[in-house]
């Protein structure tokens, strides 16, 4: 099975998921406003 993914610097309405670590900062706020699913990295 093949999975395609694009890694980008900015969040937009076309973003499906945001993967964040301890310091997600303003990206978490923007993802929340755009109703983007947030995945917290627990490393």
Q: Which residue in 17, 21, 24 sits closest to 42, CA to CA?
A: 21
Please write the tens of the pLDDT for every residue from 12-37: 999 999 999 888 889 999 999 999 99
Tell me the C-alpha distance between 21 and 4, whole Å.
Answer: 22
Question: Which is more confidently placed, 18 or 42?
Answer: 18
Q: Is the pLDDT of residue 5 over 70?
A: yes
pLDDT tier at 43, thresholds 50, 70, 90 = low
Q: Is the pLDDT of residue 42 over 80?
A: no
CA distances from 25 to 2, 7, 21, 31 (A): 32, 18, 10, 11
The model's pTM is 0.74
Strands 17-20 and 37-40: parallel
CA distances from 23 to 4, 26, 34, 35 (A): 26, 9, 19, 19
State which residues form the domain around 17.
1-42
pLDDT of res. 24: 84
Q: How many domains does the chain have?
A: 1
């Amino acid at each position: 099975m093949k999975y395609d993914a694009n890694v980008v610097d900015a969040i937009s309405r076309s973003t499906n998921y945001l993967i964040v670590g301890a310091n997600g900062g303003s990206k978490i706020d923007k993802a929340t406003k755009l109703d983007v699913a947030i995945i917290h990295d627990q490393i």
